[in-house]
Chains A and B, each alone.
Chain A
């Protein structure tokens, strides 16, 4: 009787102890092997199963990192931010939460959510007052996000800080030579008073010459027709052509300046990105 009772107890205990946990472990192994085989979508689902099977916090945490890795491998950075939003909960110790938050910040930057990345960075010291929250990665994300948002004075200060911490020469920084952006308003004014002037200013002399030629042709047609007594043609064709090309030239010069500025910003950001990564690699 006692033996039977013990056997029943053993069976029940073993089932309760192993069922949920072993399932979670099994799915974790499956997920790892799928991720290893490059099947990231299926691996992501297998990692989700670990959370679904109510695994212990260690297995669950492995699954969270695995899932985020899979989402990143698929280029789904925005879903990764959203997923981590749900996973950053108080079931994990403070040190783990900090790592998860760092992961979320990286994903936010990779998703192009620069404001979100900065906002998450700003919250770190308040959420983890007892630990250092800055890492080389967070510094890089801060500089690059500020850069993308064209907040160059702040980005420059953060870069100086990075150089100082790395013990590098703080005088050599790309922020000493910020990209010179051109004014759309200036281009508009130039094109209004000097045909083609806005295009020259935007760095497109070919387009400027073309603009001068077509506006001159309209004007020439208008004047010659007027002098020949074709007043309606002078007005309806000459003046209309001149007016249309003139107005078009103004709009075009503004667009050219916009394109020029975004090209300059992109180039500058690329330079900074390379410099920052070089500093981190050291």
Chain B
């Protein structure tokens, strides 16, 4: 009889276990999101984490959640969400150091350079390598903002001894020299050059092919205008038509030369900004990922 009772009890427990809704715990859901992220199901992992937010009761849970949401956003290149979530991880979290470095880098990458500087000034430095890493981040940011004196100050902390940092430190030094030596070309001079000889302003700005390409049609139109003037006189439709076209192209080329100085300068800056950001990123990944 007793054994019958035990059997019934076992059956009841099995059935109740099979049909009851499983309790949802923060830790288990976090592990599940991790499981999904490991399987590269990032959209699904984000969905699970978003539904987990109301369950985060303690600071530690909120930190874990913010870190993971931020990290997933970083891996899927949604850097605006990434820096917002990563920088809200508190100092008591085991993810704090990693979150701060990646969050500050994301801020710098999306162009919030002043906010990035504030975030980078409070980066944690548990040892000498991290002190150098912090200096490298602040130095890189100083270069992005073209604050050469600040870069000089940060560079004093570079020892060039850490394998994870030495290449990037040397490259930042090179960028510093190149950026300082950047020739400041004047839009006004470019405009004057193009007024004197069409296309010359673009060559001065550093766009040689564009300069030649601008010179040839203007020369052709100039010759056609001259032919119209010489053969048919100043009141002829030929002279007025070609003359008008020549004027439009001539003035347009002067304006284009002025703009091309700015375009070339932006291209140069963008190229170096990308290089600097790349060299800020690599050591953070190597040391913290």
B35 A14 Cβ-Cβ under 8 A: no
| A233:B39 contact, CB within 8 angstroms | no
* Residues 24 to 62 of chain B near chain A (Cβ within 8 Å): 31-32, 35-36, 39-41, 44, 47-48
Quote the shortest CB–CB distance from B3 to chain A (angstroms).
9
Contact partner of B21 (CB less than 8 A), chosen from A26, A229, A233, is A26
Whether B274 sits at the interface, judged by CB under 8 Å, is no
Binary A-proximity of B1-16 (CB < 8 A = 1, otherwise 0) = 0100010011001100
B266 within 8 A of partner (CB): no
Is B81 an interface residue when CB atoms closer than 8 A count as contact? no
* Interchain nearest-CB distance for A246 vs B (Å): 18
A82 at the interface (CB under 8 A from B): yes
Q: Is A170 an interface residue (CB 8 A)?
A: no
Known A3-B2, A48-B35, A49-B32; contact A233-B14, beta-carbon cutoff 8 A = no
**Contact A83 B39, CB 8 Å, known A10-B6, A14-B17, A45-B47:** yes
Inter-subunit contact A45/B44 (CB<8 Å): yes
**Distance in angstroms between the alpha carbons of A40 and B48 in the assembled complex:** 15
A233–B48 touching, CB < 8 Å: no
Q: Which of B2, B14, B39, B47 contacts A14 (CB 8 A)?
A: B14
Interface of chain A, helix or strand or loop or mixed? Answer: helix
A249 CB contacts on chain B under 8 angstroms: none
Q: How many residues on B have C-beta within 8 angstroms of the other chain's C-beta atoms?
A: 31
A22 at the interface (CB under 8 A from B): yes
Given contacts A3-B2, A22-B17, whether A14 and B10 have CB atoms under 8 Å apart is: yes
CA distance A19 to B9 in the complex (A): 15
CA distance A237 to B220 in the complex (A): 9
Pick from A19, A86, A232: contact of B39, CB under 8 Å? A86
In angstroms, Cα B205 to Cα A51, docked, is 62
Asked if A232 meets B17 with Cβ closer than 8 Å, knowing A10-B6, A13-B10, A45-B47, the reply is no
Does residue A236 face the partner (Cβ distance < 8 Å to B)?
yes
Which residues of the other chain, B, contact A237 by a CB distance below 8 angstroms?
Answer: 224
Q: Is the CB of B44 within 8 A of A6?
A: no
C-beta contact mask, A1-24 vs B, less than 8 Å → 1, else 0? 001001100110111011101110
Nearest residue, chain A, Cβ from B228 = A233
Q: Which of chain B's residues have a CB closer than 8 A to the CB of A25?
A: 18
Query: A233–B227 contact, CB under 8 A?
Result: yes
Q: Does the CB pair B6–A236 fall under 8 Å?
A: no
Q: Are A230 and B227 within 8 A (Cβ)?
A: yes
A202 to B39, alpha carbons, bound, how many Å?
49
- Whether a CB of chain B sits under 8 angstroms from the CB of A66 is no
A77 vs B176: C-alpha distance when bound (angstroms): 48
- A44-B44, A45-B47, A232-B227 known; A22+B220 contact, CB < 8 A: no
CB of A193 within 8 Å of the partner chain: no
User: Is A120 part of the contact surface with B, judged by Cβ < 8 Å?
Assistant: no
A44 to B10, CA, bound (A): 32
Is the CB–CB distance between A17 and B14 below 8 Å? yes
Whether B22 lies near A23 (C-beta < 8 A) is: yes
- State whether B40 touches A232 (Cβ < 8 A): no
Q: Which 6 A-B pairs have the closest CB atoms?
A: A18-B17, A14-B13, A22-B17, A22-B18, A232-B227, A236-B220
Cβ contacts A to B, 5 pairs, < 8 Å: A10-B10, A22-B19, A45-B48, A48-B32, A233-B227
